[in-house]
Amino acid sequence: MAHQATPSSQKALMMELKSLQDQPVEGFRITLVEESDLYNWEVAIFGPPNTLYEGGYFKAHIKFPVDYPYSPPTFRFLTKMWHPNIYENGDVCISILHPPVDDPQSGELPSERWNPTQNVRTILLSVISLLNEPNTFSPANVDASVMFRKWRDSKGKDKEYAEIIRKQVLSTTAEAERDGVKVPTTLAEYCVQTRVPSQDSSSDLLYDDLYDDDMEEEEDDDDESDMESVGEAGGISGMEDGEMSTRCYDNQDDSGNEDS
C-alpha cells in the first residue's frame, strides 16, 4: 500500500516546533496540547520583569488551520486577561493574526496583516509587545482601554488598571505551582533560554516520519530528473525561523504590530 504523504502544513509546524524547542523565545514555553496533534499548541507566557505583568504565568492556545502558513492561526488566552486588545473569551486582536484580505474599513495596511512569511516566533514577539504596549485605537475590550489610558495619561497616579493586572498576576501563582514551574522575576532569569524536554519519544518519532516523507519525495524527484538537479533537490531546506537570532527584550516598540 502506498505511503500517504504528510500535509505540507504538518511539515512546516514540525519544523517550527523543533526550532522553538531548540531555540526558545525568552519568556515562553511551547508544548503540544496532545503529542499526536500538531495543529494545537499550548503556550505558557511569563510576565516580563519591570512591567505590570512581572511574575505572571499566563496560558494560551494557538490553533493552526490546515492550510497554514497561508492562513493565520488563532491565539486565545486560557488565563483570564484584562487588556484592551484581548476579548472576553481570551482571543487576541492583533493585525498579524488577521487574514490577508483587503478591508479598507479596518484601518489596517495589508503589510500589517498575516502573510506566509510570518511564523510562530513573530506571533509570540508581537503578543508580548502588545501586552506591554496596548493599542487603544480600536480596542477589543473598551472598558480596559479606557482604564489603561487613564493609568497611562496620569503616569500611574490612577491605579485602577494596574491593580487589576496585579491581582490577575497573583492569581496565576497557584497554577504555576501546580505545574511545577518557577516563574522568572528578574531580567537575568527571564533571558535564560531553556529547552522544553519531550514528555516521551513520540515527538521524535513524528519528526522522523516527516523527514522520511521528505526523503521519499526527494527520491521520487531524483528518479524523474537528471543528475544535475540532485544538488538542488537533496536535503530538507532550513526554515528562516530556525535561523532567526533571539534576544532578550525589556520594553520594545510594537508600532508594527497594531491590532484592530
Residues 6+ apart with CB under 8 A from 91: 74, 75, 76, 77, 140
Determine if the peptide bond prior to 7 is cis (ω within 30°): no
Query: 40 in helix, strand or coil?
Result: strand
Total residue count of the chain as it appears in this document: 260
Task: Select from 213, 223, 202, 215 the least CA-distant residue to 4.
Answer: 213
- 248 assigned to active site: no
**Spatial distance between the Cα atoms of 25 and 21, rounded to a whole number of angstroms:** 9
b (16+ CB within 10 A) / e for 18-48 = bbbbebbbbbbbbbbeeeeebbebebbbbbb
Pick the catalytic residue from 32, 43, 93, 96. 93
Give Cα separations from 28 to 133, 223, 224, 228 (angstroms).
18, 44, 44, 44
| Catalytic residue IDs | 93
